[in-house]
Structure 1
Amino acid sequence: MAWALLAVAIAAVAFIAFREQRRLGTSWRQALALVPLKLLTRLDTRGLQPVRNSDGPVIFAVNEQARLDPAICLAALPDDTLHVLDPASADHFIVGAYRSLGKAVVFDKEKMLANRRLITHLKRGGRLAVYFPDAVEPDRAAFRLYRGVALLARKTGATIVPVTVRNSRFLRSSFTAEDKAPRALWPKLRLHALPAAPMSDIVAMRGREWTTPANALFDRMAELRFTSADLDQTLFEAFVSAARTYGPGRTILEDTVTGALTYKRALIGARVLAKRFAAMSEKGEALGVLLPNANGAAVTFFALQSAGRVAAMLNYTAGARNVVSAIETAKMRTVLSSRAFIEKAELQPLVDAIEDNGTRIVWLEDVRASVTTAEKLSAALQWSRPVRHADPKAPAVILFTSGTEGAPKGVVLSHRNLVVNAAQSEARVSISVTDSLFNVLPLFHSFGLTGGMVLPLLYGVRLFLYPSPLHYKLIPQVAARAQPTIMFGTDTFLAGYARTARDTDFASLRFVVAGAEAVRYETQELYRERFGCAILEGYGMTEASPVVAVNSATHHRLGSVGRALPGIDIRLEPVEGIEGGARMWVKGPNVMIGYLKADRPGEIQPLEDGWYDTGDIVHIDHEGFIEVRGRAKRFAKIGGEMVSLGAVEMLVQSLWPADRHAALSVADRRKGEKIVLATTTKQADRQRIARKTQEEGMTKLMVPSDIVEMEDIPVLGSGKTDYVTLQERVMAMLKRLGRRVTGSSAPRDDAPGGAKDVPKKAKSKGRRSPKASASTR
């Protein structure tokens, strides 16, 4: 019997080895060495097959997450590959045992260019494996390796093949601390690689004029990181995968009312609700979600994904007319809400309008009260299974524009759009399970939904949801108790919190991610000096799920919105009359399925060729940093010259930083258009603004023709200026004052976030030019 079992075991080992040899073309010794790795880690090598035998000279750029990675590569890569190992990896006992399978040298990789052996090896058509540290935000020393390898590839004409071993960061031999990457006893590893490409092509992928070779290689490795994630999952499946990776018992959700929830408890609650939602609706039907930032909203969102339904996030601050219009545009028959929320937020008139429209409102309190013990037990047993399976490319979420062009448009995002954008963001900004995120941005806003909920839940970051961003006095107090390391916000909200916060309230923060509007220099400095944290400004739009670019600790430039995320293509088109900037188009796997419009309710209208016109005028420098010069619709044409209204706002902001300001364009019979400044300061005068423009070397056309003092500047629910409401108020005030007004030429943005502008670079006269940058809108 024992001999028979031994014979079966030997036959099994031989079969696995033979299959790997046929699949990868390895030597028999390498194939045998792969067998124990496959048995211990469930290693899947198929991702390496297309690129393993790339013709030399070739550099395999390996993202080294664990000490075991070199052993896997020694067994899987061609046996003539020269592996450049660090002492930390080379001394590992398994790596030592596998070193005989190939060639290896051990030395400081930062000095690799000085080693003639490597250059000679590549020039002779050889293969090289270089191991990069697993750092989303590498320090300066680590970044030298990117410069070195990029230069080495250019000198020798070598192609580069990025390689990673997915999930090896959860091995016991991981370089990541255990508190940041929970260890797994029997992880499922998978080799993943990107196609071979020379440095010239890698640079071209990011735009030759917008990047350096080192940055291009860094972006290529970031693309490797995000594409190695399982992107073909529904949102519910990705949530379940996160629960299994970081532990079902891990506390992941918290709010101010219901307390904390673990992954498993959240998923059980989602399973219970999903059964009910599936019973009351059709497959793929859109159900409205009218809820505040709270645990219940997150559980409801994932319940809809489990049920195979679409979550249509309703903006309860948009007014009854816009909410009803959104309901009709998406053909919603049912809206999910909470009586407690409606009562506390005083939204009964909105509820009446919804019901008068013939739309049913389902109260979650009633659903919870009717749940039986049997339903709870069933959900506890099947918490990881969706109620209805869905296609990752199918619609998952509908978000609505702010209705500034009449009826709101619905932006339809797929499961894959959001899963991809979360992975893209995680590949650029370093987060881990040791972090906790404090989100005050509403979930009906794309930034609040993807960045403020989906991203942390899919990557093990504890999430604290706060119901309203307008509680300027309470939020710092809550943050002081919650001790978050990351916070999301807009400039308006962040400045408001700082005014009421004690220096210790935000002391726990590592960084703040700011979006939705330009972040002022004063706000940046305030958070740096008082709270010791950086504000990382990003940029995006709902149509891109939403993040397109973001600053990071490694790549950060004040006055910019950062560099484009991996996997996003950019196209610039010149705009007549505007110098130093061009109109930006974006394309990528995070770009929406299409629009829902009021004229064709329920019908998704896709983009023609996958490219989305952002409507922003931008400048991209030689390192890829994006500076947003303004919305194409927020330029005033005065006497034939284009003037950025956002530049005017930032100029005035530099004079009176404690107040709010907004610049508008109004039709003018003599010059075509003129600028009107709405401001809350009582000190504003044209002469002082004129002197400032002269000091900064800016055009006199930026000086407003009229100044209108207001008690406050109206804002949208996302915290951005409500230019439509403001335009109406300003026009009415100008008429009352007897000013000649021929009509409005104000912009009506087509995205849920409004305007975002920065001025062109000014001719400096020894003072800092007032810069602005634009963020997720």
Structure 2
Amino acid sequence: MTTTATADSLARIPFLREERDPGGRCLSEGGRSLDNAAFAAAVRRLAGRLAELGVAPGDNVAVMLPNCAEIVTTMFAAWYGGSALTPVNPALTDDEALYQLEDSSSVVVVGDERARALAATLDIAWVDVRSIHATSERPVPPVGQPGPDDAPVAQPDDFALVIYTSGTTGRPKGVLLDHANITAMSSSLVDHFQLTAADTSLLVLPLFHANGLIAGVVSVLRAGGDVVVAPRFSPSTFWELVEEHRPTYFSAVPTMYAVLEDRTGHPVDTSSLRFAICGAAPMPADLITRFEDRFGIPVVEGYGLSEGSVASTINPLAGPRKPGTVGIALPGQEVAVVSATGEHLSTGLRGEVVIRGANVMRGYLGRPEETTKVLRDGWLHTGDVGTIDEDGYLRIVDRIKELIIRGGENIYPKEIEECLYTHPSVLEAAVVGRPDPVLGEVPVAFVAARPGLTLSEDELRGHCAVSLAPFKIPAAFHVLAELPKNAVGKLVKAQLSERAPLR
């Protein structure tokens, strides 16, 4: 099914669905379910509330919540008023969350009491999450009028999402995606997976990532299907959700597949599932085979970045799937590998993976120099090394960056190192990735103390816990007399990696 919706119609999705099938399934979470009419009404109410708070076209609306239906409603309400959405990971510390709210210039935060306190710190507006689906709180504005009479519908070049991704400088960067980007990305996924109104997405990935928002929500809603939001992934309840809601697909990270394959001890009904998507980190080929054989579900591995609106290659459903590769370019995109001098390389040769298409971001918020580094001559330079075979299948073989992917969460060592350097006893600090059989990789820290001072693992762990989200805290801390350096005094992390073997 190929959709013909224009970019500005993303904001109209709830209302188009309401017109076509007001009683049709749309959005479910736990024991709650919204049909198309109820969802559209909730979007109108929240859009009206945002307008009353002074949120204007071009402003940024932040939402800071664990997975719930209200995040989806907030996204469409922001879009209908011509605003962008910034989803904030609720696992972040207050300092980390405040940085993203300030950097994105958010004018309102939708969330719980913690979000209220953060909003007060910045003197910006707050919307109580409990009010979003409370139908008795306020009347529903007429169709097409979510707020003031002049409330605009977003245009294709208006920003739609500001997604924060870690940066090599240690501070997260805001990836700017406009409505044209998301239209291109969602239509590409609809085409590739032939999504229709008969499809249901089971959303187990976090909604502060582009994957959950675009692949798990926008794509299936624009195709006419519906979304089931799982508050959090749990192997003990996952298959119950599948059997209860009968989804046709879900997207997960390798860690989730490994846990499901390891901990499922009873027969499960997977007959509703057409396919499952794997991304965020490489998935071992033997795990894909074991999972497919055991549960009878095709697992299609893909590859992408937030900078490319989430996905650029995916193994096909109808054609050959090649475990160990991340598939072929999605419709509307070009993927190539280039040399250090920018020359496109032939089949089988290693080079940096580059991407071109309408899905590629507009840039990094407030960071023109970093934008220029990755967007060159119309191509997005990913920093990943790969090869493309004779059939067009991409294989990721290495990373140029020092990114650590822990269970699907991106962690950059620089951010942890900067935190460690704020400890008064730390002289030197370096963080590397250590292989982990369940999470893929975990960060490990090496530090050297200032002369005459001492450090302990518990002390360093407690120091990091003050400023870093739990998933960023190193799995181990090693205190050395000094860290290895090369002839010019630069830390040699390769030698440290050898000291952080698989446990």
Provide the residue aligned with 1:240 in structure 2.
15
Structure 1 segment 87-236 matched on structure 2, within 5 A:
225=2, 229-236=4-11
Output the CA distance in 2 between the equivalents of 1:251 and 1:480.
17
TM-superposition CA deviations, 1:698-752 (whole Å, max 9, x none): xxxxxxxxxxxxxxxxxxxxxxx96x644xx55x3252xx6864475569xxxxx
Provide the residue aligned with 1:216 in structure 2.
none
Q: Is the 8 A contact 1:593 1:607 kept in 2?
A: no
Q: Secondary structure at the match of 1:528?
A: helix
Question: Does residue 452 of structure 1 match 2:224?
Answer: no
Structure 1 segment 656-667 matched on structure 2, within 5 A:
none
Provide the residue aligned with 2:26 in structure 1.
252
Q: Is the 8 A contact 1:267 1:383 kept in 2?
A: no
Q: Secondary structure at the match of 1:733?
A: strand
> By how many angstroms is 1:390 displaced?
2.3
Provide the residue aligned with 1:414 in structure 2.
178
Match of 1:490 among 233, 253, 258: 253
Q: Secondary structure at the match of 1:412?
A: strand
Provide the residue aligned with 2:276 in structure 1.
512
> By how many angstroms is 1:522 displaced?
3.4
Q: Secondary structure at the match of 2:401?
A: helix
Provide the residue aligned with 1:271 in structure 2.
44
Provide the residue aligned with 2:88 in structure 1.
314
Q: Is the 8 A contact 2:11 2:154 kept in 1?
A: no
Provide the residue aligned with 1:558 in structure 2.
323
Output the CA distance in 2 between the equivalents of 1:498 and 1:285.
44
TM-superposition CA deviations, 1:52-103 (whole Å, max 9, x none): xxxxxxxxxxxxxxxxxxxxxxxxxxxxxxxxxxxxxxxxxxxxxxxxxxxx
> By how many angstroms is 1:527 displaced?
1.9
In structure 2, relative to structure 1, the CA distance for the partners of 1:380 and 1:239 (3 Å cut) is: closer
> By how many angstroms is 1:382 displaced?
5.8
Question: Does residue 297 of structure 1 match 2:60?
Answer: no
Output the CA distance in 1 between the equivalents of 2:179 and 2:372.
15
Q: Is the 8 A contact 2:235 2:263 kept in 1?
A: yes
Output the CA distance in 2 between the equivalents of 1:386 and 1:523.
54
In structure 2, relative to structure 1, the CA distance for the partners of 1:746 and 1:474 (3 Å cut) is: farther
Q: Which amino acid aligns with 2:10?
A: L
Instruction: Point out the more displaced range, 546-555 or 427-436.
Output: 427-436
Question: Does residue 633 of structure 1 match 2:401?
Answer: yes
Provide the residue aligned with 1:332 in structure 2.
106
Unaligned runs of 5+ in 2: 415-429, 439-469, 495-503
Q: Is the 8 A contact 2:159 2:179 kept in 1?
A: yes
> By how many angstroms is 1:593 displaced?
1.5
Q: Which amino acid aligns with 2:381?
A: D
Output the CA distance in 2 between the equivalents of 1:403 and 1:675.
15
Q: Which amino acid aligns with 1:398?
A: V
TM-superposition CA deviations, 1:210-263 (whole Å, max 9, x none): xxxxxxxxxxxxxxx56xx23332421244345545x23211211114x21112
Match of 1:733 among 471, 478, 491: 478
Higher helix share: 1
Instruction: Give the superposed CA RMSD.
Output: 3.8
Match of 1:624 among 385, 392, 411: 392
Q: Secondary structure at the match of 1:428?
A: helix
Provide the residue aligned with 2:306 in structure 1.
542
Output the CA distance in 2 between the equivalents of 1:240 and 1:398.
24
Higher relative contact order (CA 8 A, sep 6+): 2
Match of 1:463 among 223, 227, 233: 227
In structure 2, relative to structure 1, the CA distance for the partners of 1:467 and 1:368 (3 Å cut) is: closer
Q: Secondary structure at the match of 1:633?
A: coil
What is the count of residue pairs matched by the alignment?
Answer: 431
Output the CA distance in 2 between the equivalents of 1:270 and 1:606.
36
In structure 2, relative to structure 1, the CA distance for the partners of 1:411 and 1:604 (3 Å cut) is: farther
Q: Is the 8 A contact 1:318 1:402 kept in 2?
A: no
Structure showing greater Rg:
1
Output the CA distance in 2 between the equivalents of 1:615 and 1:605.
10
Q: Is the 8 A contact 1:285 1:309 kept in 2?
A: yes
Output the CA distance in 2 between the equivalents of 1:283 and 1:434.
34
In structure 2, relative to structure 1, the CA distance for the partners of 1:610 and 1:325 (3 Å cut) is: farther
Q: Percent identity?
A: 24
Q: Which amino acid aligns with 1:262?
A: D
Q: Secondary structure at the match of 2:58?
A: coil
Q: Which amino acid aligns with 1:492?
A: T
Q: Is the 8 A contact 1:322 1:408 kept in 2?
A: no
In the superposition, the TM-score normalised over structure 2's length comes to 0.75
TM-superposition CA deviations, 1:619-645 (whole Å, max 9, x none): 11111111111211259xxxxxxxxx9
Q: Which amino acid aligns with 1:271?
A: R
In structure 2, relative to structure 1, the CA distance for the partners of 1:406 and 1:464 (3 Å cut) is: same
In structure 2, relative to structure 1, the CA distance for the partners of 1:745 and 1:580 (3 Å cut) is: farther
Structure 1 segment 347-426 matched on structure 2, within 5 A:
348=114, 352-353=117-118, 355-366=120-131, 375-376=139-140, 378-379=141-142, 387-402=151-166, 405-426=169-190
> By how many angstroms is 1:536 displaced?
0.5
Output the CA distance in 2 between the equivalents of 1:446 and 1:397.
9
Q: Which amino acid aligns with 1:317?
A: A
TM-superposition CA deviations, 1:499-534 (whole Å, max 9, x none): 333331544322111111111223212321221111
Q: Secondary structure at the match of 1:325?
A: helix
Output the CA distance in 2 between the equivalents of 1:231 and 1:381.
17
Q: Secondary structure at the match of 1:427?
A: helix
Q: Secondary structure at the match of 2:192?
A: coil
In structure 2, relative to structure 1, the CA distance for the partners of 1:563 and 1:678 (3 Å cut) is: closer
In structure 2, relative to structure 1, the CA distance for the partners of 1:320 and 1:412 (3 Å cut) is: same
Output the CA distance in 2 between the equivalents of 1:372 and 1:353.
24
> By how many angstroms is 1:357 displaced?
3.8
Instruction: Point out the more displaced range, 274-283 or 738-747.
Output: 738-747
Provide the residue aligned with 1:612 in structure 2.
380
> By how many angstroms is 1:423 displaced?
0.6
> By how many angstroms is 1:299 displaced?
1.2
> By how many angstroms is 1:355 displaced?
3.5
Provide the residue aligned with 1:60 in structure 2.
none
Provide the residue aligned with 2:290 in structure 1.
526
In structure 2, relative to structure 1, the CA distance for the partners of 1:674 and 1:496 (3 Å cut) is: closer
> By how many angstroms is 1:421 displaced?
0.7
Structure 1 segment 677-756 matched on structure 2, within 5 A:
677-679=434-436, 725-726=473-474, 730=476, 732-733=477-478, 735=480, 741-742=484-485
